[in-house]
């Protein structure tokens, strides 16, 4: 158990819909990262927040957005869902900002878009 929690575990929805994935980092960790894992693209970095501020963006679509709240939990919002958005979504947390901190990953949310 990494100490990172993600809800829900599974989500099934239809094309065009909007969903919110939630992540609670390990106690005390200020950084939250979101990754997407699909069969064809592998594990890809989406976005990084540190203490409530966006720090870096990866291959995140404009239909996706995220935020980190004052209590440090984070939400990833996916809208106008397409079949290709079906994937595992992981969040990870780390203690600080710098690159040498290991990231602890949550169990993931499996999103299925029908």
Binding site for other proteins (CB under 8 A): 2, 4, 31, 33, 35, 42-45, 48, 50, 55-56, 58, 88, 90, 92, 94, 97-108, 110
Residues in the chain, total: 114
Question: 105 burial class (0-12, 13-18, 19+ CB within 10 angstroms)?
Answer: middle
* Backbone torsions φ then ψ of 83, nearest 5 degrees: -55, -35
- Residue nearer to other proteins on the CB measure, 3 or 15: 3
- Residue nearer to other proteins on the CB measure, 15 or 51: 51
Minimum CB separation from other proteins for residue 46, in Å?
A: 9
Minimum CB separation from other proteins for residue 20, in Å?
A: 19
- Residue nearer to other proteins on the CB measure, 62 or 99: 99
Do the beta carbons of residue 111 and residue 87 sit within 8 Å? yes
Minimum CB separation from other proteins for residue 16, in Å?
A: 26
């Amino acid at each position: 158990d990494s100490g990172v929690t993600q809800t829900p575990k599974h989500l099934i929805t239809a094309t065009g819909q909007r969903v919110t994935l939630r992540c609670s980092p390990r106690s005390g960790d200020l950084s939250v990262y979101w990754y997407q894992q699909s069969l064809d693209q592998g594990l890809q970095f989406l976005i990084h927040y540190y203490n409530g501020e966006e720090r870096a963006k990866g291959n995140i679509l404009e239909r996706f957005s995220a935020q980190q709240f004052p209590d440090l939990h984070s939400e990833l919002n996916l809208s106008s869902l397409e079949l290709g958005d079906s994937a595992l979504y992981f969040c990870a947390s780390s203690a600080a900002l710098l690159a040498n901190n290991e990231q602890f990953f949550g169990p993931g949310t499996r999103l299925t878009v029908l």
